[in-house]
Structures are given as structure tokens and as C-alpha cells.
A = this chain, B = another copy of it.
Amino acid sequence: MGPGPVHEALAAVRLVDHHCHSVTTGDLDRAGFESLITEGAVWPGVSPFDSPVGVAVRRHCAPLLGLPRHAPAEEYLARRAELGAREVNRRFLAASGTGVFCVDTGFAPDRGTAPRELAEAAGGTAYEVVRLEAVAESVAAGGVEPDEYAETFRAAALEAVRRPGVVAVKSVAAYRTGFDLDPARPSGADVTEAARRWLADGGRLADPVLARQLLWTAVDLGLPLQLHTGFGDADIRLHRVDPTHLTDWLHLIAGTVPVLLLHCWPYLRQAAYLSAVFEQVHLDVGLTLHYVGPGRAGAVLAEATEITPFRKLLYSSDAYGVAEFYHLGALAFRQGLAGLLQERVDADELSLPDALRIAAWTGGDNARRLYGLPPTDTDPPLPSPDRD
């Protein structure tokens, strides 16, 4: 059966993208563009265009640049350069149909957009997500005594989240230590000792004691906490970022802040399990959707939603670097979710009103509820609360 009313509803929904990033406003040569459409690198003889995400770019992004579907990579890049980054970004952001952008501002590409710029291109509203590792590393870079690190970091994090428009915090502990951590809040002495080592050695925050202190500080801040889980670049040790390794910690923090498991692939079912048994746990499949492409997004979503309560699934693009990923993420989400819901409606396993409710919840209402966003976006958008 072809597209039906669920497809129409999801095509029309103004998305809340609860986790995304800046895109570059700079011009990109082939290597520059390729380096932004892979979690690996650009290797001789193995172009990122020759991968599912590359196929998806040529199929679904080329038409927005006025090219035929499946245009060759060279033509695509030439046309992209001709239009210029700002026009390209505008087209893809507008095409994404995103009404709200919650932007992780702690990691950005060269010449990246400010949150407000992202939102304006789509006629939407921007909010900010504070990456706590960036705050901690900024504290370290600013100079601090080891025995004052914990309190200084806490104060800096509090200050960061009190800025207007901040709706969540995020941790990339997955990249730094993985989740095989002692779940308990570390003692002050342990934190001081770990800070002493880190401040002497420099580098990124990758100490397990400091990672735990960061996660517990996040809990104290009282905002929803986004956690990278699963798939990412080669810094990940994938077997250490199965989110079920957080179970003991999730028990300890029950009744405090919402926890948002980001990406989750390939631990889709593990994340679904946590969302089904812990009140505070929610999940998305951002990043995954554009990397697998619209042709496989339905299968990934079907697995991620096997037992997930419908109030626990959120949309995110996790777009980063190139605006194509805003378009692709939104498209893969709309088509993938519509496909699986419509199929169940057609099989009479699900009623159409229920399918439409699930679509609306997942496309935006769940995020609005969780982050305390206004129930609808005004048009024109509110003055952007981001401070850039």
C-alpha cells in the first residue's frame, strides 16, 4: 500500500529537534564535505559518497539544489559551491520543517552557525543544550586548584544553565569513559585527587571519577540530561556504551531529572527496555536515521519502538556540520515512522487516531512536555532566546 493519512500527518508536522548541532557557513571542497558526512575519515579509494549516507544525500538532497535525483557527487558538490553555503543551509533547514531546535553548543564545526541562525533559516525557535564536558574543560583551562575544581565546575555549570534559552544539559561520557562506571556519587576527596591528576596532565576530561562527578552534577542542575549512547566516531568503544550499563545509576537517580538516551544504535532494544522500566528514561534515534538513510529508517525505528512507551520516543536529527543532515534526518524520521504506523493501521493493528496521536507525540509533543517548551510555536517565531 502507498502513503496514507499517517504519511500526510507526519509530512506536515512541525518537528521539535531536541538534539542537534551547528552547521558550517564556510565553503566546502570535496574533502571538506566528505569529512562531514562520515563518522570515519576520508580514505583513499573509499569515498563517503559510496556509503548509505552518500546515496541518501545524492537521492534526497540533490533535488533541493535543482539537480536530478541521484546526481553524481561531483555535480552535487559543484552545484553546492555555486549556490554558496548560506543558500544551501537555508534550503535544507527550511525543507526540514523544524519548528524548534535544541542546539548542543559545546561542539561545532569551523565557522558554525549560531543557534539563532539555524532557527531563522527554518522560521523556527532555538534553544540551547549545554555540553558539560565543555564547561568542565573550560574551567580547567581557566586555571583552578584541584580542591576547588568540583565547586568551580558546579558554579560554572549553574551559570551556564541559567542563561536564557537553555533547556537541557548533555554529557559525552560515552566517548570519554563509557558507562562501566561506579554508579555512586564520588567523594570530594576522590574528585580532588582525580582533578589533581587531570589538571597536571591536561587533555580532555576522560577520568572515570570526574565523569561520575559530572553526571552527578548534571543531576543536581535539575534540567533534562541528554546522554550520547551507541554509535559515534572511532573514539567510541561501542561495547562500553550500551546504555544498560547505566542501570545501577538510573536506580540511584530515580525521581530526579529526565534522562534522554541519544542515537542508541545498535543498542536500540536496550534503550527501549530502559525507557519501559525507568520513569525518567527517554530515547531518540538521531544520527542513526541519516546514516542508514530513508530506505532503512523504518526498520531501525521498528526495532527501537518494539516496547517503547509512546511518550518516551523523541525526534532528533543530531545534524552536525552540513545542513543536508537536517533535511535527511527529518525526512527519514517522517517517512520511517509513517511507514511503520500506516502499515499497522492498514493491518488494523492500530487505529488511525492512535497512529496520529503517536505521530504528534513523537514529532514534537513529547519534547515540548519534557523540556517545558510552549505548546505551539508562534509564527513568526519568538525572539530567539539564544545569546549568540
Contacts and interface: CB of A to CB of B under 8 A. Distances in A.
A344 B295 contact: yes
B59 A350 contact: yes
Contacts of A305: 52
Given A278-B234, A310-B50, A347 B295 contact: yes
A50 B309 contact: yes
A131 to B, nearest CB: 21
Q: How many copies does the complex hold?
A: 3
A273 B308 CA distance: 24
Given A51-B309, A234-B250, A239-B242, 20 more contacts: A40-B277, A40-B309, A45-B311, A45-B369, A46-B309, A46-B311, A51-B310, A52-B308, A55-B350, A55-B354, A59-B351, A70-B354, A234-B247, A234-B278, A237-B247, A237-B248, A238-B247, A266-B269, A292-B307, A295-B344
12 contacts: A45-B311, A50-B311, A51-B310, A52-B306, A55-B349, A55-B350, A59-B351, A70-B354, A236-B247, A295-B344, A299-B302, A300-B306
A311 B69 CA distance: 22
A277 B233 contact: yes
Contact of A239 (B244, B265, B279, B302): B244
A351 B45 contact: no
Nearest to A71: B351
A299 B295 CA distance: 13
Interface in A28-71: 38-41, 43, 45-46, 48, 50-53, 55-56, 59, 69-70
Contacts of A349: 55-56, 59, 293-295
Contacts of A76: none
Interface residues of A, number: 65
A279 B244 contact: no
Interface in A234-258: 234, 236-239, 242, 244-245, 247-248, 250-251
A312 interface: yes
